[in-house]
Amino acid sequence: MSQLEPIATRIAFVASDRPEALEARERLAARYGDAPEGQAQVIVALGGDGFMLETLHRQIETGAPIYGMNRGSVGFLMNEYSEDDLLERIAAAERAVIHPLQMTAVDVHGFMHKARAINEVSLLRQTRQTAKLRISIDSKVRLSELSCDGALVATPAGSTAYNLSAHGPIIPLDARVLALTPISAFRPRRWRGALLAHTARVTFEILEADKRPVSAVADNFEVRDVLEVHVAEDRDIALRMLFDAGRSLEERVLAEQFSA
């Protein structure tokens, strides 16, 4: 259960740019008050899953708990929208703690780029040419050459997103593992990826980078023409999401494994 105060009275409402989200923010702020984000006990995010990720990224340094309500097209990470009994719902909410990934990418010009990902870090071919990747785990080469459209490393929270679309495994939140999943692997054709300990450090080396350019994406942050990408879980950061009682993120991930 949530470890917040019994009733959180300082709430900050944030909304995506969708009209229904902006209208909901005005109504909720008028009804419950609207504290500045830096002073709020809870942040209520109004939008879809993409906006929830944006809000989580903004709160990486503060760790403020975020309660989402769906005013977008996809709402896997959101609660149902209702304007009634909001304070009581937040007080009774269940908490999910998420540790993001840290991506460090070096491009062909030698510049280093760092970014965090809550869902996944993905490598994607930039042209019609198939990407060629060498994959090392904890400095040991595990796959000397993967010909593919790309590959990704997903957190448990992100395992139901792009990772699932790429036929990767769904991971329970408390499993303490990461998913390493190929995207349209051509050779070795039968390689379907791997489950890694959450402490694993993954290194991608881009082979023939001049002929087969690759971009690296940490959620919505993209670096093009990369030579090398390092990915590891950042245990120093704990992001907190709140879900209605009986509809925890753990329950949603479990239910997803039995959906048709």
Do both 112 and 215 map to the same domain?
yes
Do both 47 and 161 map to the same domain?
no
Q: What is the pLDDT of residue 253?
A: 85
Do both 105 and 227 map to the same domain?
yes
Do both 84 and 127 map to the same domain?
no
Q: Is residue 4 part of a domain?
A: no
Q: Is residue 114 part of a domain?
A: yes
Q: The domain spanning residue 151 has which CATH number?
A: 2.60.200.30
CB 91 within 8 A of CB 67: no
Do both 106 and 229 map to the same domain?
yes
Do both 130 and 216 map to the same domain?
yes
Do both 105 and 229 map to the same domain?
yes
92 in a labelled binding site:
no
Do both 153 and 112 map to the same domain?
yes
161 in a labelled binding site:
yes
Neighbours of 253 (CB within 10 A): 21
Do both 88 and 126 map to the same domain?
no
Domain count for the chain: 2
State both tokens at 246. 């009986």
Neighbours of 232 (CB within 10 A): 19
Q: Is residue 85 part of a domain?
A: yes
Do both 41 and 144 map to the same domain?
no
Annotated catalytic sites, by residue? 49
Q: What is the pLDDT of residue 247?
A: 85
Q: What is the pLDDT of residue 8?
A: 63
Task: Give pTM, 2 decimals.
Answer: 0.87
- Residue ranges of the chain with per-residue pLDDT less than 70: 1-8, 260
Q: What is the pLDDT of residue 257?
A: 83
Q: The domain spanning residue 57 has which CATH number?
A: 3.40.50.10330
- Token pair 């990407």: residue: 131
Do both 196 and 177 map to the same domain?
yes
CB 90 within 8 A of CB 67: yes
Kindly report, residue by residue over 137-185, the tens digit of the pLDDT. Answer: 999 999 999 999 999 999 999 999 999 999 999 998 888 999 999 999 9
79 in a labelled binding site:
no
Q: Is residue 53 part of a domain?
A: yes
Cα torsion 16, 20, 22, 26 to 10°: value is: -140
Q: Is residue 191 part of a domain?
A: yes
Select from 3, 11, 117, 156 the least CA-distant residue to 69: 11
d(CA 206, CA 204): 6
Domain containing 181 equals 101-233
120 in a labelled binding site:
yes
d(CA 44, CA 68): 6
d(CA 6, CA 84): 17
Q: Is residue 6 part of a domain?
A: no
Do both 138 and 212 map to the same domain?
yes
Q: What is the pLDDT of residue 7?
A: 60
Q: What is the pLDDT of residue 260?
A: 64
State both tokens at 23. 């209208």
17 in a labelled binding site:
no
Q: Is residue 2 part of a domain?
A: no
Q: Which residue(s) pair with 15 in the sheet? A: 46
Q: Is residue 222 part of a domain?
A: yes
